[in-house]
Amino acid sequence: MEDSKRMPDNEKQVTWGGRFGSKPDDLMQVFGESISFDRRLAPYDLQGSLGHAGMLAEVGLLTPEEFEEIKNGITELSEEIASDEFQWKLELEDVHMNLEQALRAKTEAADKLHAGRSRNDQVATDMRLFFKDACQQLRTALEGAMGALLKLARNHALLPIPGYTHLQRAQPVTVGHHLLAHIEALGRDHERFSTVAEHANVCPLGSGALAGSTLPLDREHVAKALGFVDDQGLPRLTPNGMDAVADRDVFVEFASACATCSLHLSRLSEDVILWNSSEFGYIDLPDSFTTGSSLMPQKKNPDSFELVRGKTCRILGNLNNLLVTIKGLPLTYNRDLQEDKPPVFDSFDELSLCLAVVAGALKDSSFNEEACRDAASDPLLLATDLADYLVERGVPFRKAHHVVGELVSLSESKKATLPDLTDQEVQAVCPQLEPDWREVFDLERAFAKREKPGMPGPGQIEGRIRYWESLLD
């Protein structure tokens, strides 16, 4: 293209227009923008810019006066964004260039700010700051959900309830024991987000596009300024610039942690939905977290937990989205990676909502003690205990299992419960069944014999409730 036909400088794309003779097509501007979703990174981008500017001033690439102008400009921009007064521009592509141009309007010193950095290491830094913050927020939300579960577990610690396998009544447990199982799972999620935050706590700024810079940058200074430090306050830096800008491990780990947590919430929701049904009737949910029917006036539906269960699919899909996006990319940065943020943001937003809803719904829920006790009083739930009774009297477990199976079949043929069988009837099947065999069907006795770690004995449940109370307090 002849020089006379080249686009005037004031019409060029401000980020990289010097190389190009025409501005981007309007369709390309719409297709390539990321400001619609990465604008939420603005606080982290400004934080990173302030840390970078402080370092540039420290090494003499900014004067003290220029640094103060930049600092004041960043403060003003932070206030504009916080008050939703900032005007985002689609043609500037992303959050970085929107903020840089806005800062340039406040001070000419902004033209010096991008020295020694690229949008590649800039966005990598922004996202690591986001992950550290997001993980802390999710840990707090998890503590809220766990606290609601723990309160219910404390209030109904020893209330008997059937435990299920294959959705068939299996053995008696207690409400406390069952809810503690969900707390244990959410506790692992809490640890998982701590691990993700630790992995995010490494500063990539200073990597540039992939090979750093010839400028006298002080990466340690930036890392300290942005809080990328270890327990001793020492800076933590990415050791390889190519890996620093291409690495999306933390993205995957975060999305995976969100997906795993959503699975746990989905399983909890399934339990609550079943327990809330007329067929079970174990739990009553508050009106504020249920809905009615447009046709059937008697309905009270557990929509809150059904939606939590449904949103799990979305969060799982976000993880798969990330994995497929990253799978075939060469080092280092590729524009495909622009698409790594929407699934991460969506998983964070949806999981945060799910945790808040679970906490809110469980906080005012209560268990129907009569229904729970009635369901747990079925003697068949203690059939395994009867087999254990025989094992303690020298009968091999497989034989004991067979014997109890015969007795169950006999009771069903007589339309009676196991304890209703006569001594003569049971001894005809197995002579080792002594007159005290019916004591097996005493629920309190059954729980009292389960005082080993992990079992639903009263002491074990109390100990585990206290453990979680101490952590959550």
Classify the C-alpha dihedral 207-209-210-216 as positive or negative.
negative
CA 131 to chain CA centroid, nearest Å: 12
The β-bridge partners of 142 are: none
Nearest 5°: CA angle at 88, between 82 and 94? 105
d(CA 437, CA 312): 47
Asked if residues 55 and 217 have their Cβ atoms less than 8 Å apart, the reply is yes
Which single residue is written with the structure tokens 């477990």? 397
Rounded to the nearest 10 degrees, how much is the dihedral formed by the CA atoms of 217, 218, 222, 225?
-140
Asked if residues 178 and 218 have their Cβ atoms less than 8 Å apart, the reply is no
- Across 99-240, the runs of DSSP E, i.e. the strands, are 160-165, 168-174
SS3 205: coil
What DSSP character marks residue 454? T
Structure tokens at 105: 């309007």
List the one residue out of 12, 392, 375, 330 whose CA is nearest residue 171: 375
Structure tokens at 297: 């006036």
SS3 173: strand
d(CA 436, CA 431): 13
Catalytic positions, please?
166, 293
Asked if residues 252 and 319 have their Cβ atoms less than 8 Å apart, the reply is yes
d(CA 121, CA 74): 19
The β-bridge partners of 161 are: 173
